[in-house]
Structure 1
Amino acid sequence: MADPMYSRLAALGVFALLTVSACGQGAAGQAPAPSMKAVHGGASAAATVPPAVLDPCALLGPQDRSTAGVNVLGVAKEINGARACDWTVPATFGVTITVDERNGLKDLEVARKTATKTKVGGRDALKVADKKAADGTCAVLLGMGEKASVQIDVSNTNFTDTPLACERAMTVAGLAEPKLP
């Protein structure tokens, strides 16, 4: 039988390790998505995560946020019953990633005149922007099987420069896509 003092110290050490490793991960009150790199020998875990467990805030890690020009943590929210995460860079732009488990690309209501078929990674996607409105907004919609999708919406704070909004949306989509199932 193990020494009771050793068992208590081991439990305290595990608790301390978990507490320290959780620091700075995700938004307040939100658990980060588990990393399976150690479990699967470096393979990406997100490829095995079903949409129902996919955390939209985990789709942009610290390095991804830096690459995308996002210097704030995401805030978890819900949009029409779907999980979402919102990053707002003060006086610059905002990004919202929504995981929709009920609607694939074909099911989404998109004005066809504003949508352009594209690919992100090897995944079918739609880039949606109203060039005539020139309102500084753009969305990239990524297919995730027949009945699910991930929607990346970018709005420039000054509501101008739609091409820049689309560039930002495509950058975020490229960073998030490898983490999708």
Structure 2
Amino acid sequence: MAEKDERPEGEESAPKSGKKKLIIIIAAAILVLAAGGGAAFFFLMGGEESAEPAAPVQREAIYIKIRTLEGRPMFVASLENPGGNRHFMQIYAEAKTRDPQVEQIINQHMPLVVARLNTLFTTSDPNVLRNVDGIRALQNDATELVNRLVQDRGGEPGVEIVLFTNFVMQ
């Protein structure tokens, strides 16, 4: 006990203070390393995803047969060329979409879809439809027409293409 009295108070607290400082420094170093490791993980692993836009989830295609009121799956159009010759065209058409809401709108308004497409087909020039480019142009016009109709009925234009599954012209 005599030794205890001979030491000044500053010496007694110095060893304890040194241990506390050492523990605090070690704890701070561990925290800094953990934070650095977490940040590195976030930027290296999470950075790849945030650098590129997330790929949209690809939904399965929905094909909607465009049918007349009688349930016939085809259009029959009478065409007249500028020379006065009459031609007939038969088209089987399906709309391709990935949005169930678009499918619902098309099915709900099928008579209007059929009427508008019928008008488009009967006003086409048979001379233009004699080659593949003319048929593709008609197909693009049909796609735009159906998309406008869907949009007018409150949906998003989600028809990718109106496919002609059978096309006959004579």
TM-score (norm 1): 0.27
Where is the strand percentage greater, Structure 1 or Structure 2? 1
Where is the helix percentage greater, Structure 1 or Structure 2? 2
TM-score (norm 2): 0.29
Give the number of the structure with larger relative contact order, counting CA–CA contacts within 8 Å between residues 6 or more apart: 2
